[in-house]
């Protein structure tokens, strides 16, 4: 078993695990504390479940474990990238620039930056796990 020894990958794995756990408990927090005004939807829960699937891929990459098949992780990679681009693109289609458009552009820039910082390392890991870790998948019996 090869474990990624880089401090970056270990730190990123811990960060993504914490974000995923927080996302799973978000709907529970919103229902237990309605006075906080936290809004959730079924889509939020779906994104949390999807983040758990992505976390499994990150785990497989980190610890060189075969989870499922390469084709599944290729699909997870493409779907993950598509979700992220949709989450940045969708607000652009729902908003009409009236008045102070600079504020809106700042919000979109912040969301795009957050997506890049949080998800680009995940995409690199999923890509490497599905396409470049061939020795891992060849040894499968």
Q: Is it the case that residue 114 has pLDDT exceeding 70?
A: yes
- CA 85 from chain centre, in angstroms, equals 12
Q: Residue 126: pLDDT band by 50, 70, 90 thresholds?
A: very high
Predicted local confidence at residue 120, as pLDDT: 92
Gap between the Cα atoms of 65 and 120, Å rounded: 21
Tens digits of per-residue pLDDT, 81-111? 988 877 777 666 666 555 555 566 667 777 7
What's the Rg (C-alpha) of the chain? 18
For residues 5-34, average pLDDT: 82
Model's pTM, two decimal places? 0.77
Predicted local confidence at residue 141, as pLDDT: 46
């Amino acid at each position: 078993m090869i474990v990624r020894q880089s401090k970056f990958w270990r730190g990123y794995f811990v960060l993504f695990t914490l974000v995923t756990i927080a996302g799973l408990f978000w709907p529970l927090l919103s229902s237990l504390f309605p006075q906080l005004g936290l809004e959730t939807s079924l889509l939020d829960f779906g994104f949390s479940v999807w983040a758990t699937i992505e976390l499994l891929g990150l785990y497989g990459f980190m610890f060189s474990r075969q989870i499922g098949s390469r084709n599944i992780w290729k699909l997870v990679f493409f779907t993950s990238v598509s979700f992220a681009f949709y989450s940045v693109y969708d607000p652009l289609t729902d908003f009409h620039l009236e008045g102070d458009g600079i504020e809106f552009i700042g919000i979109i820039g912040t969301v795009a930056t957050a997506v890049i910082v949080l998800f680009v390392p995940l995409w690199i890991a999923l890509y490497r796990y599905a396409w470049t870790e061939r020795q891992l998948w060849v040894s499968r019996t």
